[in-house]
Structure 1
Amino acid sequence: MTTPTPDTSARWGLTFPLDGIPLADQRRLVEALPDLGFTDLWSMETAGADAFTPLALASVWAPQLNLGTAIVPVHTRGPALLAMQTAALAEAAPGRFTLGVGASSPVIVEDWNAVPHEQPFGRSRDTVRFLKAALTGQVVDTHYPTFAVRRFRLERVPAQTPPVLLAALRPGMLRLAAQEADGTILNWLSADDVTTVVDEFRAAGGDGKTVAARIFVCPTADADYARALGRRLIAGYLTVPAYAAFHRWLGREEQLKPMWEAWAAGDRKGAAASVPDEVVDALIVHGEPGRVREELHRYAANGVGIPVPAILPTPEMADRAAAPRDRRQAVAAAVLAVSPG
């Protein structure tokens, strides 16, 4: 890798672990990230790695990096277990860990984890309130509206209390994040959408609080490949009711209505095919490295304090016939493309 000149004006993250390389083989790449200008690693939790284990490894591999989860669902762990996992990672990476939680989706919570996805707003509110008390070592003996905790106290209280961020899309959850959490985590929005969302967050009391955003990036000059991949992802995600409502609020009702109708009719391929190029190009950053970095910096300029690129597989990364060394080189090239430059 050629090392770019780091941008020290803001934090800059990367979604971790990366696809295409076994987790145990990602140490050298993680160790190199600070020299490339990265300040943060943020995990995710869907059906791959859990949110905490990769960050525990990274806390040792690159002790300069800030670490965060984006996100841990509020339903899939009990309140005490969530507090314990948070405290353990905060102890392993003192002053460098941020917990990001969110309501997640019925598929992840109900279909995959066998937990009712009930009262997502209330559960998010109550989880943040519980964590803000528990992580400071208080005894929590409280009946919250969505759950009750009896006489719980952390045995290992982190010396530095980790911030708690709440994932948010529309005004209600943005207000909750602004008023109850230490910041918010955004997802599935364009650089131009950031202004709308951040203005709402700040107006609700979030001015000065942390704003992180996961940004999907496919660093390839093959626009047809990137758009085909982007259409499949958009059809899979933005048909989830919460994301559909989010994009209606952002003004994409007419652009995405054919996709929603096809999906509701059971036509998955038709739904993906109906997503316009302009929507894909807005929500999936793709192109040559220079164009990718320019677009990522627009997110930061519009109000994202911690851009967190999530690298989608490029044609070289997706080539299952490629030798492991070639795939590792393709991943390294993609990481360099999303570095701050």
Structure 2
Amino acid sequence: MKLGINVGYWQRDPEDATETVLAAERQGYDSVFTAEAYGSDAFTTLAWYGARTSRIRLGTAVVQMSARTPAATAMHALTLDALSGGRVILGLGASGPQVVEGWYGVPFPRPLARTREYLRIVRDIWAREAPVVNDGPHYPLPYPGGAGLGKPLKSITRPLRPDIPVYLGAEGPKNVALAAEQADGWLPLFCDPEKIEEVFGGSLAGRKPGFEITATVTTVVAPLEEALTWAKVPLAFYIGGMGAKDKNFHLDLIGRLGFAEEAARVQELFMAGRRDEAIKAVPDALADSISLLGPLERIAERLELWKASPVTTLLVAGVKDEPTLKAIRNLVDA
């Protein structure tokens, strides 16, 4: 199992994660992934870290499709891939209707069909075999309106790699199946290593040899009670705040992991503004099952579950200092 880090969304305060990324590279970590929601973007920070490193692979977990046309995303990826010497992994995701329609101002429906079209265009641009056309309803090329002067174009820049790997961020069974069918990897967000086959086995049945499962795992090295408290904070936010009451993909996934009633209570408390209570209502068993929490000795035991799972890369999230990164690497290598 490979190791990477997920530095998440960039925030103006408190930090630039360059030192953590450099430490991960020194310790032999395979990759660093960045994220975006409705603030900072994923590509800028990735370029920043890429310019300061030489070996570690550079991934997005994830770039939101509705933020950019397929052509814009393909251009971002091929440029950064060439400048970094072929280190990019493009992680794509559909996000949810609240962000897509509320932030980007574009319609959310039919995310599966949009993802298929998006993927095809991005790969056609990188392949550079012919001017790119698409007659699909979501991203038609050339645009069938406007000035009426659009024409099919081929990238004037030759990509360093025409086959930049593409991973899909997916939570629902159909989305995960699409990742297995069409992508090079899957980026699960909340992942219980003991339940991957139970919850997602059918969706992953069609995956190709070499398919990557790259799971972000909140990691807190501290006394278990303290670590659980830290791990519950983002969980409460995703369950309660990252989606509408009747349309929350994260809530649905937590339900499939066996915590539907508890998740509904967390959402109820969060939406009522009782956020401290919502955090406390996150079940210990849930936070523990999808994270790595506690002293290093306990984390060593929990890592065995991940090593035995289908996960190919574990993305450590929340660790910033080099000694802890080194300790976790040693545990994975043991």
Residues 288-331 of structure 1: CA deviation (Å, up to 9, x unaligned): 2343354345324301111111116xxxxxxxxxxxxxxxxx74
Deviation at 1:37, TM superposition (A): 2.8
Given that 2:78 and 2:160 are in contact with CA atoms closer than 8 Å, whether structure 1 keeps it comes out as no
State the partner residue of 1:71: 62
* Equivalent runs, 1:3-42 vs 2, <5 Å: 10-16=1-7, 22-23=15-16, 26-42=17-33
Greater Cα offset, 191-200 or 228-237:
191-200
Letter in 1 for 2:325: V
Residues 7-59 of structure 1: CA deviation (Å, up to 9, x unaligned): xxx42101137887632xx5454333233231111111125542112222332
Given that 2:251 and 2:264 are in contact with CA atoms closer than 8 Å, whether structure 1 keeps it comes out as no
Deviation at 1:187, TM superposition (A): 0.7
State the partner residue of 2:156: 155
* Equivalent runs, 1:1-341 vs 2, <5 Å: 10-16=1-7, 22-23=15-16, 26-47=17-38, 49-137=40-128, 138-150=130-142, 151-160=152-161, 161-197=163-199, 199-221=201-223, 223-239=224-240, 240=243, 241-263=248-270, 267-311=274-318, 331-341=321-331
Change (3 A) 1:27 1:125: same
Q: What is the distance in 2 between the residues matched to 1:292 and 1:180?
A: 34
Q: What is the distance in 2 between the residues matched to 1:255 and 1:201?
A: 25
Q: What is the distance in 1 between the residues matched to 2:41 and 2:307?
A: 27
Q: What is the distance in 2 between the residues matched to 1:293 and 1:207?
A: 28
Given that 1:177 and 1:206 are in contact with CA atoms closer than 8 Å, whether structure 2 keeps it comes out as no
Given that 2:78 and 2:126 are in contact with CA atoms closer than 8 Å, whether structure 1 keeps it comes out as yes
Letter in 1 for 2:171: L
Change (3 A) 1:172 1:338: same
Given that 1:300 and 1:307 are in contact with CA atoms closer than 8 Å, whether structure 2 keeps it comes out as no
Q: What is the distance in 2 between the residues matched to 1:281 and 1:238?
A: 16
Letter in 1 for 2:135: H
- TM-score normalised by length of structure 2: 0.82
Change (3 A) 1:28 1:253: closer
Q: What is the distance in 2 between the residues matched to 1:182 and 1:302?
A: 18
Residues 242-274 of structure 1: CA deviation (Å, up to 9, x unaligned): 112222223322443332444465654443332
Residues 120-152 of structure 1: CA deviation (Å, up to 9, x unaligned): 222222211211211111421112232212224
Residues 181-203 of structure 1: CA deviation (Å, up to 9, x unaligned): 11211111222233335523431
Change (3 A) 1:145 1:197: farther
Given that 1:79 and 1:130 are in contact with CA atoms closer than 8 Å, whether structure 2 keeps it comes out as yes
Amino-acid identity (%): 26
Letter in 1 for 2:299: V
Change (3 A) 1:130 1:270: same
Q: What is the distance in 1 between the residues matched to 2:309 and 2:121?
A: 32
Structure 2 unaligned spans of 5+: 143-151
Q: What is the distance in 2 between the residues matched to 1:114 and 1:308?
A: 31
Letter in 2 for 1:224: E
Given that 2:174 and 2:203 are in contact with CA atoms closer than 8 Å, whether structure 1 keeps it comes out as no
Change (3 A) 1:57 1:297: farther
Say which SS state the counterpart of residue 114 (structure 2) adopts.
Answer: helix
Deviation at 1:334, TM superposition (A): 4.5
Say which SS state the counterpart of residue 251 (structure 1) adopts.
Answer: helix
Given that 2:218 and 2:231 are in contact with CA atoms closer than 8 Å, whether structure 1 keeps it comes out as no
State the partner residue of 1:324: none
Letter in 2 for 1:339: R
Change (3 A) 1:218 1:108: farther
Given that 2:166 and 2:183 are in contact with CA atoms closer than 8 Å, whether structure 1 keeps it comes out as yes
